[in-house]
């Protein structure tokens, strides 16, 4: 009995061992199959066609290699402008022997909208020691056959226009003639190359560029491939012309850095946004780029399969126009300000200090944005790119040492912390001064040797020594405390602009740096926009107004000075204009009270040497507070800037 039991028990152990081995093998097989399925579906969702092809059973492919499979998959998704694929309901089930079923559903977002859910079904089979997915064109779209070609006929959304505060157009829609190539009409071999060369010469386009365009994966022999906007339409083999929406900029170079321009999509653009095609136009610079999504709207059109003369519609949607953008800019004033800069490098920023609305953001020299829309010639582009005065730079957003215009803030801080009163008088001899021998050869200099000056006289004479002594008296800690609220709040403008800085470290840890900062030099860096923002605290009697550029958007207001202290500084600044010896006396306009401060920031490396200077001018309406403007002219002085800007200041009344 025990012997029988031992035999039976032993047999049971063998059976259990075999069953355990079978269960483990089954688990390992299912795990491997599911891994293959997941790799394939993940590659599909991420549009990684080469990785997808690595999971395919290539031995049983009909008419394809792994490479051509990947190429067609990429071409199809590119043609559709697929931006997102969301996978759901992925299942793997054993069918029989070494065959498993794979099913999943994909929600595919194309250039013109989302397709209805696509239900995919195939098998996974064993290929040697590996598991591979069976592939056919139905794995691109379930309704596709081997001969189907995906086509997309786009209805471009009308781009939103950009207006100024008075509804004058700054970026305007229009019509232009677009030239394109139909590859199937170019001929073949040497004839094809000859025709492409003729087109390249006629349109001033590189031959290599044309070849790249016509060889894109989505292009068919009958596809019209857009190349450029043209003004002439010569008859050329393989060429066709069509009227398309286009963009013009009425102010041209006067607002180029602000508004920017649109242009044809490049290969780099498509890499960043797969929904784009080479036929698209997008914002390339300025507000056109920043607000491209809002302005562009959503294209509509028809996505369909074509097999000979037969077509099957996959998706049809209506185009949704882009939204308009209305700025606070005054187009008339923008143009006048730009004209007053002439060809000199500089900028003009004008704002309404009551609400922060920016009326003018002009930068010179500039460029013609209309040339870029049309497809700028290499000669014109090189002229801009090689210009040492950098016409693409938005000088209203670039940082500079503000020079003596900054003295108005030093005065307000000193009044607020009671370092001085408006009647504080200092006796200073000579044109140079230093605190003591510890400064070595370094000295603070001034241009007017006035022996006794109060705050108003120091501003009228723009006396560096007077303000250096004031800063040293109050000390770095008190001065930084006064500066902090001015620098703490940053604007939220849709412009690229680095933060304003007091110094490289944020500290004023040397007496010489403290002294220099007090009169707008040292390591101070402010853009003209940031200067206007801070100086609004004087115009608004203590309230600093952040700027705004989009009409209807409100910006933050912060009290940084007591009203009476800021008012005293503003009154002193009116003498900079009204007094015959004032540095801005050239701005006198009969019947108007104007407050102003000039500044000449030195860029030289050492004292008592000749170097470049930048001229600055801050001007305020001291009667009704309707405007505050900050002007800059590089490689110039404030006297030249006063003369240049007076005609513009007149137009502000």
CA distances from 575 to 145, 325, 455, 586, 627 (A): 84, 41, 11, 12, 18
Average pLDDT, stretch 452-463? 96
Same domain, residue pair 250 and 282: yes
Q: What is the domain-level CATH number for residue 269?
A: 3.90.1310.10
Residue 481 in tokens? 């405390």
Binned at pLDDT 50, 70 and 90, residue 3 comes out as low
The answer to whether residue 630 is domain-embedded is yes
What gap in Å lies between CA 445 and CA 22, rounded to an integer?
Answer: 94
Closest CA to 286 of 23, 446, 496: 496
Same domain, residue pair 524 and 598: yes
Same domain, residue pair 292 and 422: no
The answer to whether residue 3 is domain-embedded is no
pLDDT digits (tens, 9 = 90+) for 260-300: 999 988 878 877 876 777 778 899 999 999 999 999 999 89
pLDDT digits (tens, 9 = 90+) for 385-429: 999 999 999 999 999 999 999 999 999 999 999 999 999 999 999
Same domain, residue pair 320 and 442: no
Same domain, residue pair 522 and 628: yes
**What is residue 327's DSSP assignment?**
B
pTM for this structure? 0.82
Q: Over 70: is that where the pLDDT of 4 sits?
A: no
How much of the chain is in helix, strand and coil states, percent to nearest 5? 40, 25, 35
The answer to whether residue 342 is domain-embedded is yes
Residue 634 in tokens? 């590089």
The answer to whether residue 76 is domain-embedded is yes
Contact yes or no for 616/641 (Cβ under 8 A): yes
Same domain, residue pair 244 and 351: no
The answer to whether residue 581 is domain-embedded is yes
Same domain, residue pair 223 and 99: no
Last residue in a domain, options 296, 326, 356: 326
Binned at pLDDT 50, 70 and 90, residue 13 comes out as very low
Within a 10 A sphere around the Cβ of 31, how many other Cβ atoms?
A: 9
Domain count, the chain: 3
The answer to whether residue 489 is domain-embedded is yes
- Tokens 């029988």 locate to 4
Binned at pLDDT 50, 70 and 90, residue 629 comes out as very high
Same domain, residue pair 433 and 525: yes
Q: What is the domain-level CATH number for residue 598?
A: 3.40.710.10
Contact yes or no for 230/203 (Cβ under 8 A): yes
Contact yes or no for 563/582 (Cβ under 8 A): no
Same domain, residue pair 596 and 622: yes
Same domain, residue pair 293 and 252: yes
Last residue in a domain, options 125, 146, 167: 146
Same domain, residue pair 492 and 631: yes
Same domain, residue pair 57 and 139: yes
Q: What is the domain-level CATH number for residue 69?
A: 3.10.450.100
Beta carbons within 8 Å of 583's beta carbon, 6+ residues apart = 460, 461, 462, 576, 597, 598, 638, 639, 642
Q: Containing domain of residue 67, as a range?
A: 30-146
pLDDT digits (tens, 9 = 90+) for 357-377: 999 999 999 999 999 987 787
Percent of the chain with pLDDT over 90: 78
Last residue in a domain, options 98, 124, 146: 146
The answer to whether residue 614 is domain-embedded is yes
The answer to whether residue 24 is domain-embedded is no
Q: Over 70: is that where the pLDDT of 14 sits?
A: no
Average pLDDT, stretch 578-588? 96
Cα dihedral 466→471→472→477 (10° resolution): 180
- Quote the pLDDT of residue 188: 92
Q: Over 90: is that where the pLDDT of 478 sits?
A: yes
């Amino acid at each position: 009995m025990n012997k029988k039991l031992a035999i039976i028990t032993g047999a049971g152990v063998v059976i259990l061992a075999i069953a355990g081995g079978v269960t483990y093998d089954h688990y390992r097989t299912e795990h491997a199959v599911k891994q293959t399925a997941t790799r394939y579906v993940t590659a599909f969702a991420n549009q990684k066609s080469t990785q997808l092809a690595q999971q395919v059973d290539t031995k049983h492919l009909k008419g394809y290699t792994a490479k051509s499979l990947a190429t067609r998959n990429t071409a199809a998704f590119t043609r559709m402008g697929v931006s997102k694929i969301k996978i759901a309901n992925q299942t793997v089930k054993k069918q029989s022997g070494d065959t498993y079923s794979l099913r999943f559903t994909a929600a595919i977002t194309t250039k013109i909208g989302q397709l209805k859910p696509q239900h995919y079904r195939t098998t996974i089979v064993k290929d040697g020691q590996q598991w591979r997915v069976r592939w056919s064109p139905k794995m691109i779209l379930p309704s596709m056959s081997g001969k189907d070609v995906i086509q997309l006929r786009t209805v471009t959304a009308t781009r939103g226009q950009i207006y100024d505060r008075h509804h004058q157009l700054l970026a305007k829609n229009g019509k232009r003639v677009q030239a394109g190539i139909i590859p199937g009409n170019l001929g073949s071999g040497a004839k094809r190359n000859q025709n492409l060369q003729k087109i390249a010469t006629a349109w001033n386009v590189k031959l290599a560029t044309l070849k790249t365009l016509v060889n894109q994966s989505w292009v068919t022999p009958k596809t019209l491939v857009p190349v450029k906007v043209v003004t002439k339409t010569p008859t050329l083999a393989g060429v066709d012309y069509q009227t398309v929406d286009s963009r013009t900029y009425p102010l041209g170079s006067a607002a180029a850095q602000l508004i920017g321009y649109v242009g044809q999509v490049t290969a780099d653009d498509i890499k960043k946004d797969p929904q784009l095609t080479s036929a698209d136009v997008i914002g390339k610079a300025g507000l056109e780029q920043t607000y491209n999504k809002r302005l562009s709207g959503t294209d509509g059109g028809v996505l369909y399969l074509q097999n000979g003369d037969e077509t099957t519609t996959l998706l049809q949607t209506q185009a949704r126009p882009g939204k308009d953008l209305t700025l606070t800019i005054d187009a008339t004033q923008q143009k006048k300000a730009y004209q007053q800069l002439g060809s000199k490098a500089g900028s003009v920023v004008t704002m309404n200090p009551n609400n922060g609305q920016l009326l003018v953001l002009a930068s010179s020299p500039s460029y013609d944005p209309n040339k870029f829309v049309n497809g700028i010639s290499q000669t014109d582009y090189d002229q801009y790119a090689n210009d040492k005065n950098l016409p693409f730079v938005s000088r209203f957003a670039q940082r500079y040492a503000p020079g003596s215009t900054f003295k108005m803030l030093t005065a307000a801080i000193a009044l607020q912390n009671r370092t001085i009163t408006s009647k504080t008088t200092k006796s200073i001899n000579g044109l140079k001064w230093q605190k003591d021998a510890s400064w070595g050869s370094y000295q603070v200099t001034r241009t007017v040797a006035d022996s006794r000056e109060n705050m108003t006289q120091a501003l009228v004479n723009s006396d560096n020594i007077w303000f250096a002594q004031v800063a040293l008296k109050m000390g770095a800690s008190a001065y930084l405390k006064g500066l902090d609220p001015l620098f703490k709040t940053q604007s939220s403008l849709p412009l690229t602009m680095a933060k304003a800085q007091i110094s490289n470290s944020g500290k004023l840890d040397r007496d010489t740096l403290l002294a220099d900062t007090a009169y707008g030099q040292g390591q101070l860096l402010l853009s003209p926009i940031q200067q206007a923002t801070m100086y609004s605290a004087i115009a608004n009697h203590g309230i600093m107004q952040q700027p705004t550029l989009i009409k209807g958007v409100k910006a933050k207001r912060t009290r940084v000075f007591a009203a009476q202290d800021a008012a005293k500084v503003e009154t002193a600044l009116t003498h900079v204009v009204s007094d015959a010896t004032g540095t801005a006396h050239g701005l006198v306009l009969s019947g108007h009270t104007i407050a102003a401060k000039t500044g000449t920031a030195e860029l030289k490396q050492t004292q008592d040497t000749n170097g470049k200077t930048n001229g600055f001018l801050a001007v305020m309406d001291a009667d009704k507070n309707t405007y505050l403007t900050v002007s800059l002219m590089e490689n110039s002085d404030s006297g030249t800037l006063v003369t240049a800007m007076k005609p513009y200041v007149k137009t502000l009344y």
